[in-house]
Structure 1
Amino acid sequence: MEDTMNDQVAGELAAQGYSYIAAPDFGVPNATDSDFARLADEWNRLETDNYLQENATFRERRFGRFAYQPSTQTVVQLKHTPYFQAAGTNTYAGGIHRVVAPLTEQFAKDPLLSDLIKQDFDCFPTRSFDKSEWWYVACHLFRIIGRDGEEGEPTPEGVHRDDINYGAMHLMDRVNATGGLSRIHAEDHSIAAELCLKNRLDTLFWADEQVLHSVTPIRPSDTQRSAVRDILILGYTHSPNILEEEGTS
């Protein structure tokens, strides 16, 4: 199943810049539902995002950094640093070094996370790259919370790019939520595709240099309870000298 999925995603990314894989069709070798349930439990230990505007409280997060070498399938955790995006990339919170809570040691060392980093990479159309060269992998854990009176904004920056080569967005949980539509946009910001990640491991892959993306707000179906949308994003950037730059070679 994995080879078929890999070929499908790679072909669609090359042709249209995005690919959607529903949970039943997404696979990581030897991983079970209980393995992913263990991974998903980490979203109950995120910390408040302190960089939301107007004292908003709709987002919790953690962030980690890895390097990946395809030829050896080696995953190296990099030291934790503040998260930075240029102001031109993120008009909402760019241009500053954001101090984001690190991944817990348990999550960072979970073998399933390492396997997921490898599996996602295998879906990307990277044949033109030397497999011995390293890639930088940004690992983002987001919990978006929608409340009665406060929408949950998955992408408060609006239609955007992340300045990476490729990305994978995995739904880990969705509770009592309406909205949260993932959108792929053309250069003029028109909507090229719209879909909703509803089930654990529904996955959207995108080629960041080819398309832009956004996600609509979430709101609670039952206003007496919060809406929750838990997302894992892995962003890959070709970075042959990442270990030298990090001083870990």
Structure 2
Amino acid sequence: MAPEFTSLDHVTGALRTQGWALIAPADVAALSGTPLAQLDALAPGWDNLELDNYLKDGGRYRRRRHSCFVQQGAELAQTAHRAHWQSVEYNALHGGMHRMFEPMLPETIETPGWQGLLTALGRLFSDVRGAPRWYVEAHQFRIDTADGIGRPTPEGAHRDGVDYVAVILIGRHHIKGGETRIFEAEGPNGKRFTMTEPWTMLLLDDATVIHESTPIQPTGAHGHRDTLVITYRADGFQGESA
């Protein structure tokens, strides 16, 4: 199903009322103040991810990197490298353990579009909620189909235990599937669509919606799906007292 995009002037309202907004690539560039060509310069970083050795289904289909930042106003600072942690309440499959992934590479973080993108999202979420400081986790993912099927969300439909989530498509190559599904956390309504254009971005209010992506299958050699997931939390990083 083709996605229905939210215009930039309606994004904050959509997050407040329905809990999600889908932004077209050109508007992602406008929001971040970064030309699409500069955002595209981030994409080669997905060719150098490390295997996720924590998958409890035994799969070897997910590669990733992970880094953390703190944003206050227009200032974005990378933290010392730290583990990713979620409670079992939010991730029944992989929650409750500190997962230490390889950090994002400097050549990715130092790309001109990186800071513009993250700080723009922080400002937008502050417009919705008013938080003065955000604890930000960034995840690069590649889901591949070398073994025939890849699962973007092996934990199923879920929340992330944060305030806001941005899911950005970096690219799809020789695959089918990967449909995005959003459901009200406490209601009957849902939405489904497939993100196909690089730099399409889905924003989620993690308190009000749950989300998942369906498995992918190859349609040619080296089929894979690359995404950037960025989470924003006002009350510190998850797991700081775990």
Task: Calculate the TM-score normalised by the size of structure 1.
Answer: 0.86
Alignment of 1:139 with 2:166, yes or no, is no
2:231 to 229, 235, 238: 235
Q: Tell me the residue number matched to 1:212.
A: 210
- CA distance in 2: counterparts of 1:189 and 1:90, whole angstroms: 20
Q: Give how far 1:195 is off.
A: 1.2
Structure 1 residues 191-206: aligned runs within 5 Å: 192-206=190-204
Structure 1 residues 129-168: aligned runs within 5 Å: 129=130, 133-147=132-146, 149-168=147-166
Distance 1:172 1:87, change over 3 A: same
Asked whether the 8 Å contact 1:7–1:123 carries over to 2, the reply is no
Structure 1's consecutive aligned runs of 4 or more residues displaced over 6 angstroms after TM superposition are: none
Q: Tell me the residue number matched to 1:119.
A: 120
Q: Tell me the residue number matched to 1:9.
A: 11
Count of residue pairs the alignment pairs up = 232
| Partner SS for 1:116 | helix
Q: Give how far 1:109 is off.
A: 2.6
Asked whether the 8 Å contact 1:6–1:122 carries over to 2, the reply is no
Quick one: which amino acid aligns to residue 142 of structure 2? R
Q: Tell me the residue number matched to 1:75.
A: 76
Quick one: which amino acid aligns to residue 138 of structure 1? E
- CA distance in 1: counterparts of 2:20 and 2:159, whole angstroms: 13
Distance 1:176 1:167, change over 3 A: same
Q: Tell me the residue number matched to 2:3.
A: none
Q: Give how far 1:128 is off.
A: 4.8
Between 91-100 and 22-31, the greater mean CA deviation after superposition: 22-31
- CA distance in 2: counterparts of 1:189 and 1:30, whole angstroms: 36
Asked whether the 8 Å contact 1:17–1:207 carries over to 2, the reply is yes
Aligned-pair Cα RMSD in Å: 2.1
Q: Tell me the residue number matched to 2:93.
A: 92
- CA distance in 1: counterparts of 2:58 and 2:212, whole angstroms: 22
Asked whether the 8 Å contact 1:63–1:139 carries over to 2, the reply is yes
| Partner SS for 2:41 | helix
| Structure 1: unaligned runs, 5 residues or longer | none
Asked whether the 8 Å contact 2:145–2:223 carries over to 1, the reply is yes
Task: Calculate the TM-score normalised by the size of structure 2.
Answer: 0.88
Q: Give how far 1:188 is off.
A: 5.7
| Partner SS for 1:219 | strand
- CA distance in 2: counterparts of 1:12 and 1:231, whole angstroms: 22
Distance 1:227 1:96, change over 3 A: same
Q: Give how far 1:31 is off.
A: 2.1
| Partner SS for 1:89 | coil
Distance 1:49 1:128, change over 3 A: closer
Q: Tell me the residue number matched to 2:62.
A: 59
| Structure 2: unaligned runs, 5 residues or longer | 1-5
Q: Give how far 1:202 is off.
A: 0.8
Alignment of 1:35 with 2:33, yes or no, is no
Q: Give how far 1:226 is off.
A: 2.8
Deviations 1:46-69 (A, max 9, x none): 000001124311100000000001
Asked whether the 8 Å contact 1:13–1:125 carries over to 2, the reply is no
Quick one: which amino acid aligns to residue 21 of structure 2? S
State the percentage of identical aligned residues: 31
